[in-house]
Structure 1
Amino acid sequence: MNPRLTLVSLVATLALTAGVRGQTAPAEPPLPAGQPGSLLADQPAAAKVVKSVEVRFKGDATVDKARITSNMRLKVGETWTREKEEDDLRALFNSGNLLNVTIDTTDVPGGVNVVVTAEARPAMGDLVFQGNTVFKTERLRDEAEFKAGTVVDDTKLNEVRSKILELYTKRGYAETTVSYSIEPGSQRGFSRIVFRIDEGGRGILNEVKFEGNTVFTSRRLKAIVESDDRNWIKVWDLKRKITQEKIEGDIRRVQDAYGNAGYFDARVDNVDQVRIDDKKTDLVFRISEGPQYTTGAVALTGNKVFESETLIPVFQLEAGTIFSLADMKTDIDTIEDYYGSRGYADVSVTPRISKNGNTISITYGIEEGQQFKLGRVNISGNSETRTEVILREMALEPGDDYNTIKVKKSMTRLQKLDYFEAGNGIDFMPVASTLGPDYKDLNISLIEKKTGQVQFGAGFSTIDNLVGMVEITQRNFDLFNWPRFTGAGQRFRLSLRAGTQTKQFLLSVTEPYFMGQRLSLGGDLFWTEKNFLSDYFDQRDIGASVNLRKPLGDNSDLRLTYTLQNVEIFDVSGDASQQIKDEEGKYLQSRLSSAWVFDNRDDIQRPRRGHKIMVEGALSGGVLGGDVEVYNFSVTGSKFWTLPFDTIFFVEGRAAVVDTVGNGDRVPIFEREFLGGANNLRGFNYRDVGPKDENGEPIGGNSSAYITLEYSVPVFGKVRAAVFADAGVVNADSWDFSTSDYNANVGFGVRAVLPVVGPLKLDYGIPMTADEFNDGSGRFQVLMDYKF
């Protein structure tokens, strides 16, 4: 017998490790150099050719011989080398089909014969699940994805075990354990795989409790933890499931709350799961609060470029105040932003904490690094979006000082485009530049998402009742990229709405960077029929508009809009007053409006802080032509405050006036001011506040003003309860803001974001002061945008 290579000798010599289920091969003593079987044996002087390759099995042959030889470099007619033999041994073992394997060679005239002796892993014959009552065996088999005859190993079996555990965890069985074993099968050469499941009790949360807390009440801490957040909106999720992920997050949130209140040493020592019965469990957070610390000295070290006197005055932590982890983190961000905005991209800040009694002194250690300029901007992942669309959102350009604040601003702009996946869809990575040591390149990695949407839906409100909708939108539109029409960053919208009280067609296209500048150019074509404005007439608008919008900084912009439309008042009832009959007919309106808008709200849909101000003026007729000759002026403002315990206080007000110009003898009804309904005075019907004719039908006025106060509190999830008060006035004359005929209401309501449905606003308003045509009974106001 000539040189023989075994799995064991290869592992021993090359330090390869491999586990053999249930047995360990005996170690063979090393052979001296020059002897058969030694890896150090002298190589033959002449090349040897493989004359034959034979596969033999120890035990049952559950693996096809062809599968074994296909993994080998040693083939008939090929030159035999020790390197090929070693590579083949590795490949056969790594294939996962064999428990053990050896390769033997025998010299024959003109070459060698190769003999592979293999011990195959058993193939699966039976798959058995024991102890499962929550899931049927068929469901677990589907998760396993094993077929009879499949060769299994520990890697595959552990994957199946993880899938089973995930199933049980999602169902609320956090204490489930799963083990497996491989047993002899009923047929020779096949194994029996047995998964044993101990389901434990279902991890449904009964109550969250706290022990050791004296600083915060249990109610306050419950508002912090997510484990206690029951989703009442999902009927199928009323039972709160216990997960380790939530528990770990809640520990961090509780400790942060204490740290922000000065309790630097506070810890959650343990979270016990106390079983109440077979299904319900209490979570008990055991807290050690420790003492409250005040802030001692605050100092800097390592700063050479900027003086301490420049930085320390803007810190949140001050000597003598209660220590706060949040304030310390803010100070670190302040230092990094100060350096980073001046080109020090690699600045690093490390807080060094020193305790003396109940005082904590902080020294911020600064590693300044060097100053950089921005080199190249490298973008990847934008298969749909044009590169120039991304680059135009950058707040800095190559050659500028590397400004970390502007880098963050650029990332925020890209996020607002909504072209890329949330979370990890946008990644900015500064790297060394090929331009030299004084430059940093910026690598931008993007993961795009679908930006087009087709919606079919319905909505309901107390203004226009039930409305059906079909809408096509594309946020990343390209008018000239046929047939995909994506990539240029334009916005496209085609909307069709029809309901019991309204019909609408709208086609809108907007180019946000007209002529390569931060100047938005848009155009609309529209047709609208409104049957909800009055019981005595209907209104139809057909026309087009062109608009420009110029940003002024990050939070404000100027807007200019020209609209040419035909407005028709039709189907006037024979019972209508003469004042309304006089409005019947068609009007050609040529209108130019301009507006200044400032908006720094933190969220457009559900703001919690910030404010919005809008000042708008418009002119119809005169040099613009048309049948309508009026001007409009309005000021609108809103302000949001976030108060303790996640409550929100909101104030909104508006004042508006309209009057005739040139040869205009009256203001047409579609240009007049109205109040009432879900958007302002909620204790009154839509447009029901203000001057009326002899039938009590609203005819609007030339001046209006209102104010709204609202306070909301969280209830659970995305549901909030609100109380409000509204007051307003509509007067017949222009620039008449007398409050002698004002109307007012109070009320309460609910704000919610429902799954699938979207935002819901339900209010009940009760009039407190009203005219003779409005009684004092309350009214429900509903606004809902339902999509499916």
Structure 2
Amino acid sequence: MWILLPVLGCTPALHRVDGDIVRDIAFSGNGGAYSGHNTLQLRQQMVQKETSLGLGIWPLMYLVDPVAYRSEQLIRDAYRLEVWYSHQGWFDARVLGWEILQIHPQGPHRAGVVDLRGQVDPGPRSVVRKLRVEGLDKSLEGLRNAVLRAAPAQEGEPFTLEGVELTAAALERKLRNSARAYAEVELEVAAFPETQQVDVTLRVEPGVVSRFGPVSVEGTETVPEVLVRQRIERVLSEGDRYELQLLGDVQRRLFEMGTFSLVTVEPDLSEPDRADVPIRVRVIESKLWTLRMGGGGTYDSFLPQVRATANLRQANLAHQLLRAELGIWAGAALAANAEAASSVRLFDREYSAIPTGGVDLSLSYPRLFAQRGALDLHGSVEQDVYAGLWVYRRPQIDLNLSYQDLKDKLQLRVGPHFEQYTFLVDYLGTNEQIRVAQARLFGLDDEDVADDQRELQYQLTALDQLLTLDYRDDPLRTTRGTYYSLSFREALPLSPMGYGFLRGAAEVRAFSPIRVEGSGSAYPITLAGKLRATAILPVGATDTIPLPERSFLGGSTSLRGFRSNQVGPYTTLCTYQSVPQDDGTVADQVTRYHLPDGGNLSAEGSLELRYQWKYGVTWALFGDLGALGSGLGQLGAESVRGSVGVGSRYDTSVGALRFDVSLRPLYAEDDGPRRYSFCAPGDRVPRVSDFVGTLDQIVDLERPSWAIVFFITIGESL
């Protein structure tokens, strides 16, 4: 009732306009969705707009903003459309007229409703006959050819003004990145509508060969200028060959210091004959203390989670760039049939609200090796749900020494790591045999389980190393290049609850653009590939590896045909708790833990074909293949898993918003667990492995011979 009161107090859209309201605008004579002149594109060029959906639909009629019909605008819009058509190569395009369809007549107290129908005749489209570059000597021919090969405008392809302007801008940018700071490109277009041809000429004034001149820094207050200059010198120095793109790198590096709210890096081009180009750097320092608060949610392995976060940051302690950060987060996970104090019921299933949360504290000193290295101390305590399988609590601490080369291609990090991992699951009782068997399922030695111990836990003391080589053109929107990663962990059993093992992981990614003739983008298709392998070797008196430290496959960045960590055999463990009922009796409540075996060896590969469409949308076809086992003897044909799928990506400021759907055949793990542990016959229920299985819990479905899994997440899978 309270929701309806504001709506009922509003005026309907039809009563807010004198005259007629435009309900819809459409065209005839233009092309379809992929023609380059569809109805949506034509509407975007018009000043006269249409009313959004809901003009005559209750209660939307109270919320929509009606758009009045203005006849004088249609005459101007006809001219705008013809100009726009000419910019796309249709030089003979004409708007033949408008038809006004009266849907509802105007009444004494309400507006009329009309639809607008435009009739266009685009005529033939012109193509680029010649694309010439003038003004470059032989020493720059290679540069010219490199630009023209990847240019949006190509001879023999449809002409667009945007395409030739982008080509001119690309040539000018290439010159300015090749020691030609004063380069200018003038565009000349000659159209021949009678033959549907266009000649494009790019006249270039390359200017003198340039190098970086003196660098001035303005705006520093609490940050010592010498620290700013150290950052700048990681990218460029006076006398270096001039490259425009390096100015953007300087700006990025100064922002990474975390102490500036505004950074501008500009060349002084006022003297075109001067070979030494002065560089002016201006900064505005940000507030030293920053508090950020927010919230969000995830949906991983069909486990809904929500959380609220707060983050307090100091970016320049003691005016020496020492950074301190404190983060606190709290939330809840809705797990089916898990123990918790409160629960909700969805789709005839009981979901327990499991409290989650954590505290993070970090200190960073980034002034080692002329700011190419940093010393980071990070500690945290968290309670969360592991891949929808069990609740855990983990305090951990890391001390890392990191190093980056001058071009940020090579990164090295090394340091000790300590954590204590506790499985927050209840034992079945005091029976020693049952307690030991349950501990083994979680990868813990039976001698580590004390008689009075009510928790499963282990300690990890390790030395970690990570090496990466990044030659990608863009980490978020990669179209070409390679990426290499190599990591090691040496775990040492320094306590009675400690374990020893060696872990190594290697990964290679490669990206290659593919040109498609006639497309609006020079290289709209990207072929991406990934290979990754992991090996774990137990060290010490036991060959046991705790379950969270093993290798797993499946998830949004692994084999996408499987939910998180669901590749390979698993065991279903049942625990029971006596719960009072409404009638005064006591009944056993079962909690099932579907524990994957994981493995000591894993290998996987992915191949993805991405098509950069329009409006920030990219379509993808992909295939994933992998194998998982406890040793080389188990990595046979029967251990191989694969899936194929399609997806879409929407470009955002923080990366791609990705939606992937995968199909795969059914494998042995889809038939049920390797074994049921301590489960009564009536409680032996296998895990849900795909979307069809989830629907089957709501409506009775016949199981198909394939599985379907989808993921919605931020960031690419490779």
Question: Is the 1:621–1:630 Cα contact (8 Å) retained in structure 2?
Answer: yes
Q: 1:217 is aligned with what amino acid?
A: S
State the 1:592 CA deviation: 2.0
Q: Cα offset for 1:663?
A: 5.3
One-letter amino acid of the counterpart of residue 472, structure 1: N
Indicate which of 634, 645, 652 corresponds to 2:505.
Answer: 634
Counterpart check, 1:546 vs 2:400: yes
Q: What do the CA deviations read for 1:26-70 (whole angstroms, capped 9, x no partner)?
A: xxxxxxxxxxxxxxxxxxxxxxxxxxxxxxxxxxxxxxxxxxxxx
Contact 1:721 1:751 in 2 (8 A): yes
The Cα shift of 1:350 comes to 1.7
Report Cα offsets for 1:537-596 as digits up to 9, x if no partner. Answer: 845343333241424635553333432333345646336546226614432422222232
Report the equivalent of 1:566: 420
Distance 2:365 2:274 in 1: 39
Instruction: Flag the 1:754–1:620 CA change in 2: closer, same or farther, 3 A.
Output: closer
Q: Does 1:692 align with 2:570?
A: yes
Aligned equivalents of 1:319 and 1:722: distance in 2? 26
**2:132 maps to which residue?**
298
Which structure exhibits the higher relative contact order, with contacts defined as CA atoms closer than 8 Å and separated by 6 or more residues? 2
Please report how far the alpha carbon of residue 473 of structure 1 lies from its aligned counterpart in structure 2 after TM superposition: 5.1
Distance 1:467 1:545 in 2: 30
Give the aligned partner of residue 209 of structure 1. 27
SS at 1:509's partner residue?
strand
- Determine which of 300, 306, 310 is the counterpart of 1:462: 300
Residue 145 of structure 2 aligns to a residue whose secondary structure is helix
Counterpart of 1:620 in structure 2: which amino acid? Answer: E
1:732 aligned to 2:630?
A: yes
Alpha-carbon offset, residue 472 of structure 1: 0.7
1:518 offset after TM fit, Å? 2.4
Map residues 453-532 of structure 1 onto 2, 5 A cutoff. Answer: 453-463=291-301, 465-472=304-311, 474=313, 477-481=315-319, 488=321, 490=323, 492=325, 494-499=327-332, 500=354, 502-532=356-386
How far apart are 1:316 and its partner, in Å?
1.2
Q: Which residue of 1 aligns with 2:546?
A: 668
Q: 1:520 to 1:536 in 2, by over 3 A?
A: closer
Q: Which amino acid aligns with 2:535?
A: V
The answer to whether the 8 A contact 1:203-1:241 is kept is yes
Offset of residue 372 of structure 1: 4.7
Q: 428, 440, 443: which is aligned to 1:579?
A: 440
Query: Where in structure 2 are the equivalents of 1:334-373 lying within 5 Å?
Result: 335-337=171-173, 339-341=175-177, 343-354=179-190, 360-373=198-211
- CA distance in 1: counterparts of 2:134 and 2:556, whole angstroms: 55
The amino acid that maps onto 2:148 is: Q
Structure 1 CA distance, aligned partners of 2:130 and 2:197? 6
C-alpha separation in 2, matches of 1:252 and 1:420 = 44
> Counterparts of 1:741-756 in structure 2 under 5 Å?
741-744=639-642
Residue 590 of structure 1 aligns to a residue whose secondary structure is strand
Q: Residue 707 and residue 219 in structure 1: after superposition, are their counterparts in 2 closer, same or farther (change >3 A)?
A: farther
The Cα shift of 1:488 comes to 3.8
Q: 1:374 to 1:566 in 2, by over 3 A?
A: same
Structure 1 pair 237/725, CA: closer, same or farther in 2 (3 Å)?
farther
Corresponding residue number in structure 2 for 1:186: none
**Equivalent of residue 596 in structure 1, options 454, 459, 468:** 468
Q: What is residue 280 of structure 2 aligned with on the other side?
A: 443
- Taking a change above 3 Å as real, the CA distance of residues 333 and 558 of structure 1, as seen in their structure-2 partners, is farther
Secondary structure at 2:427 match in 1: coil
Partners of 1:620 and 1:628 within 8 A in 2:
no
Write the letter of the residue equivalent to 1:672. Answer: R
Q: Match of 2:182, as an amino acid? A: D
C-alpha separation between the residues in 1 aligned to 2:119 and 2:252? Answer: 37
Question: Partner residue of 2:345?
Answer: none
Return the offset for 1:739: 3.6
- Taking a change above 3 Å as real, the CA distance of residues 404 and 688 of structure 1, as seen in their structure-2 partners, is closer
Cα deviation code 1:140-170 (max 9, x no counterpart): xxxxxxxxxxxxxxxxxxxxxxxxxxxxxxx
Q: How do 1:232-243 residues align onto structure 2 when only pairs under 5 Å count? A: none
1:332 to 157, 168, 172: 168
Q: Residues 443 and 587 (structure 1 numbering): CA distance in 2 closer, same or farther, change over 3 Å?
A: closer
- The CA deviation at 1:505 is 2.1
- Tell me if structure 2 keeps the 8 A contact 1:682–1:726: yes
Alpha-carbon distance in structure 2 between the residues aligned to 1:600 and 1:441: 30
Aligned with 1:680 (options 558, 566, 569): 558
User: What's the CA shift for 1:497?
Assistant: 3.6
1:591/1:411 CA distance change after superposition, 3 Å: closer
State which of 18, 37, 40 in structure 2 corresponds to 1:222. Answer: 40
Residues 329-378 of structure 1 show CA distances to partners (whole Å, capped at 9, x for unaligned) of 45534553454345443232223445675554454433344455544434
Give the drift of 1:716: 10
CA distance 1:339–1:441, shift in 2 (3 Å)? same
Instruction: Indicate the SS of the match to 1:600.
Output: coil
Cα separation, 1, equivalents of 2:269 and 2:462: 55
Distance 1:408 1:517 in 2: 18
The secondary structure found in structure 2 opposite 1:740 is: helix
Q: Is 1:659 paired with 2:543? A: no
Query: How far is the alpha carbon of 1:381 from its aligned partner?
Result: 5.7
Find out whether 1:396 has 2:236 as its counterpart: yes
Cα separation, 1, equivalents of 2:18 and 2:571: 73
Q: Are 1:322 and 2:157 matched, yes or no?
A: yes
The whole-number CA distance in structure 2 between the counterparts of 1:250 and 1:711 is: 40
Letter in 1 for 2:246: K
2:507 and 2:533 in contact (8 A); partners too: yes
2:132 alignment partner AA: V
TM-score when normalising by structure 1: 0.57
Residue aligned with 2:402, SS: strand
> What aligned pairs does 1:13-52 form with structure 2 within 5 A after superposition?
none
**Cα distance between partner residues in 1 of 2:78 and 2:259:** 32
What's the RMSD between the two structures over aligned residues? 5.6
What is aligned with 2:453? none
Deviations 1:97-147 (A, max 9, x none): xxxxxxxxxxxxxxxxxxxxxxxxxxxxxxxxxxxxxxxxxx9xxxxxxxx
Paired with 1:498 and 1:222, the residues of 2 have a C-alpha distance of: 42
Partner of 2:338: none
Q: 1:617 — aligned with what?
A: 487
CA–CA separation in structure 1 for the residues paired with 2:30 and 2:424: 73
* Structure 1: unaligned runs, 5 residues or longer: 1-138, 140-170, 174-196, 482-486
Q: In 1, Cα distance between the equivalents of 2:611 and 2:172?
A: 36
Aligned partners of 1:273, 1:399: CA distance in 2, in Å? 66
Provide the secondary structure at the position in 1 that maps to 2:638: coil
Partner secondary structure for residue 516 of structure 1: coil
Cα contact 2:386–2:392 (8 A) shared by 1: yes
Distance in 2 (alpha carbons) for counterparts of 1:449 and 1:462: 36
